Amino acid sequence: MNQTLFVEFVKKWFGTLAGLLNETINDSKKPLPYFFKTMLRPELSPDLKWNSRSINSSVVAADVVAMDSPLPLKKRDSIDTASGTIPKLGMKMDKSEKLLTDIRILRARGVSEDQIVNKIFEDMPRVVNGIHERLEYMFLKALSTGIMLVPNEENVGTGIRVDFGYKDKNKFGVSKKWGTDGYAPLTDIANVVARANEEGDIITTIALDLASYNAIRKSEEAKALYAASIGNFTGNAQSIPTPSIFDALVADEHKLKFTVIDRSIRIEKDGKQKPVKPFAENTLVFLTSDQVGTLVYGILAEEDTPVAGVEYQKVDTFILVSKYSKNDPLREFTSSQALVLPVIENVSSIYLMNTQEAQEVDPGEIEGDADITIYEQTLVKADVITALKAIGVKAPVNISDAKLIEKINSLNDEEEAALKAALEITEE
């Protein structure tokens, strides 16, 4: 690496522009907000390690004991920990000989210094925002699935996979697939909220993709809620509430807030760009708080051992930006690098719902016969009822096929796995 080709401009402007870029990044009024910045708190890791602690904590009532009696020993909270090493993210852009020549011509013609500075430093916000875009991709993928996956085909370098250990007992399907006749999204949401309450978790926020949000707002349940709010109890044609009205109704009726995530990230590999949406489709994420974890970052080696001739500036606490040149062929480089990872915490209090996961009554089902079709298998209905009883779910022997399937659809993934085991259903 050699010294930058524009050393006098870099010495004069690099620090100033880094400061201005910091102000722009931290200005909440600017466009293109980042969810990872508002939902994670920054945390320095001196040993370049990260961990996600989830405390399985329950508050139990104290015992009433007789005088002089020993106090009964209570079970201590358990802590599940996921951990690992912080990965390195980076991005680099260069100016070719042609662009360098263009800048030299501009200087020779006496063009204003502002215009020259803009040309020299135009890659600086790009390499910084490139880190931010990658972090947003990683965070939204992790939040909506519990797994942070950056495969090689979407990343130049090493693929990243981190499993934060979302609990199967906190994953749910729906009573009917959303978008089909009779789907009931507000009822499905209430089911998950109630199950969370049983675990001592008070859901305040639901993060979801735009399509799922619109499916709720345009449902018959949402239209009925809106109609009732304006005194229309006739059941006649009802209007779809606007987003602002609907959000206010849900906040009043259910004490919930929707966070709609409709974010595209542009990925480039081998010179080809494509937009991707990292937040999982057909997914609702139920949260007890808008704060879901930490943005863990470390100190880069080049901060302590800078390379001779390279000019450095720190942007946004954890991003190191550098400017330098190389020859054969001649190039001026602007690069960014960071040791940083979004970390989801308290995963035992995060709940997921898949809007397309539901068993349905088979069209060829004969109501009242001895069989029922679930999980693509025809089973004896009495055996299914017995299996449900074995996992703690009661169902009367004369229950209809539709109601029985509703009970199955209300199970979480852990309960469904137990039901399949009891019925000796194996996944293919």
Condensed to tens digits (0 to 9), the pLDDT of residues 22-79 reads: 666 555 555 567 999 999 999 998 888 877 765 444 444 454 545 555 555 544 544 4
pLDDT higher at 6 or 300: 300
Token output for 50: 């990260």
- Supply the pLDDT for residue 77: 45
What pLDDT is attached to residue 42? 93
Residue 74: per-residue pLDDT: 47
CA-based nearest residue to 192, from 212, 208, 169, 215: 169
Residue 136: CB atoms within 10 A of its CB come to 22
324-371 pLDDT, tens digit each? 888 878 888 888 999 898 999 999 999 999 999 998 888 777 777 889
Is pLDDT of 425 > 90? no
Q: Is the dihedral of CA 63, 67, 72, 76 positive or negative?
A: positive
What is the C-alpha separation between 228 and 233, in angstroms, rounded?
Answer: 6
Number of CB atoms found within 10 A of residue 200's CB: 12
pLDDT at 384 > cutoff 90: yes
Domains of the chain: 7-56+78-165+291-343 (3.15.30), 360-428 (no CATH)
Is it the case that residue 311 has pLDDT exceeding 50? Answer: yes
What does the pLDDT read at residue 56? 45
Tell me: the pLDDT tens digits for 223-261? 999 998 888 766 665 789 999 999 999 999 999 999 999
Tell me: pLDDT of 212 over 80.
Answer: yes
Mean pLDDT to the nearest integer, 368-393: 90
Residue 315 — left, alpha, or beta (φ > 0 → left; ψ -120 to 50 → alpha)? beta
Give residue 170's pLDDT: 96
Q: What is the mean pLDDT of the chain?
A: 84
pTM: 0.85
Most confident of 140-144, 159-163, 297-301: 140-144
Which of 203, 247, 215, 250 has the alpha carbon at shortest distance from 351? 203
- SS3 of the chain: the string is CECCCCHHHHHHHHHHHHHHHHHHHCCCCCCCCCHHHHHEEEEECCCCEEEEEEEECCCCCCCCCCCCCCCCCCCCCEEEEEEEECCEEEEEEEECHHHHHHHHHHHHCCCCHHHHHHHHCCCHHHHHHHHHHHHHHHHHHHHHHCEEEECHHHCCCCCEEEECCCCHHHEECCCCCCCCCCCCHHHHHHHHHHHHHHCCCCCCEEEEEHHHHHHHHCCHHHHHHHHHHCCCCCCCCCCCCCHHHHHHHHHHHHCCEEEEECCCEEEEECCEEEEECCCCCCEEEEECCCCCEEEEECCCHHHHCCCCCCEEEEECCCEEEEEEEECCCCEEEEEEEEEEEEEECCHHHCEEEECCCCCCCCCCCCCCCCEEEECCEEEEHHHHHHHHHHCCCCCCCCCCHHHHHHHHHCCEHHHHHHHHHHCCCCCC
* Distance of alpha carbon 330 from alpha carbon 308, whole angstroms: 18
The confidence score (pLDDT) of residue 58 equals 41
- Is the pLDDT higher at 386 or at 65? 386
Is residue 146 within 8 Å of 347, Cβ to Cβ? Answer: yes
- Dihedral (C-alpha) 162, 165, 166, 167: value to the nearest 10 degrees? 160
CA distance 196 to 189: 11
Contacting residues for 266 by C-beta, under 8 A, at least 6 apart? 133, 273, 274, 275, 276
Q: Answer whether 84's CB lies under 8 Å from 115's CB.
A: no
The string of pLDDT tens digits covering residues 106-144 is 777 777 888 888 888 888 888 898 899 889 999 999 999
Percent of the chain with pLDDT over 70: 86
Residue 270 has pLDDT above 60, yes or no: yes
Which range, of 114-118, 198-202, 252-256, 381-385, averages the lowest pLDDT? 114-118
Confidence band for 390, pLDDT divided at 50, 70 and 90: very high
pLDDT at 396 over 80: yes
Mean pLDDT to the nearest integer, 68-93: 65
Backbone angles phi, psi at 87, to 5 degrees: -80, 165
